[in-house]
Amino acid sequence: MPAISYPAGLGELQFVESYLKSILRKPQVAADAALRTLVLAAAADRVMLTALIAEQLAESGRRLLAVHGALADRTYAVARSLLGPLPGVAAWAEFEQLAGTLDPEQMTRRLGLGDSALESARRLRAQSDLSLVTPLIQAAEAGGFMSLVPVSESRRAPVEFWVASTSREGEAVSFPFGALEADAASLADLTADLSSIACGFLGAYLEARRGAGRKD
């Protein structure tokens, strides 16, 4: 089997660490920045900023899926699996069921992780409604995430946005979302939770690998 080439000439574990510190954290950082901006934004801009946070939530969910899949199935190196395409809504539905039924200890065993991952597994088990992420992932997977703010003839500021995309078959996919500041804060909080859980799982894997003194 040919050697795997990682971006920027990184080695395997270097790539995993970079993925952990940048790619996994990006949705949380972007969502937090949008939430801070939203506080002083004009009413119409708040809708778009909330939509931007929702887009980061979709990515954080798919990144968590990627980490879960890479750790649960180690047919290939974890780093190599993380290079693959992001999972979609079918994988999310399966993951949502697992997250709601496995206790934290079962989840860490499933992922081949030790006690250092238990806190992240507990946070995952404590999530009350992961179904909120489903339409966001569906829209992102279908052909690109588009945030649409309805145009109204009235002078009132818009109060919601739609997540929309077009599937490969040409079918339009769209879902309405609220855009109040409370909604934005909730979306940002969930983005932070999912990003943190993914970082916790991958960090535990990285810690175990380095603790074992292995280079491959």
pLDDT at 195: 98
- pLDDT tens per residue, range 154-174: 555 555 666 666 655 556 666
pLDDT digits (tens, 9 = 90+) for 2-42: 678 899 899 999 999 999 999 999 999 999 999 999 988 98
DSSP 116: G
Per-residue pLDDT at 152: 62
Higher local confidence (pLDDT), 139 or 194: 194
Predicted confidence band of residue 216 (pLDDT cuts 50, 70, 90): very low
Q: What's the angle, vertex CA 198, arms to CA 119 and CA 84, rounded to 5? A: 150
Question: What's the whole-model pTM score?
Answer: 0.88
Select from 69, 88, 82, 64 the least CA-distant residue to 192: 64
Task: Say what the pLDDT of residue 135 is.
Answer: 84
Percent of the chain residues past pLDDT 90, beyond the cut: 61
* Two structure tokens written together for 83: 């290079």
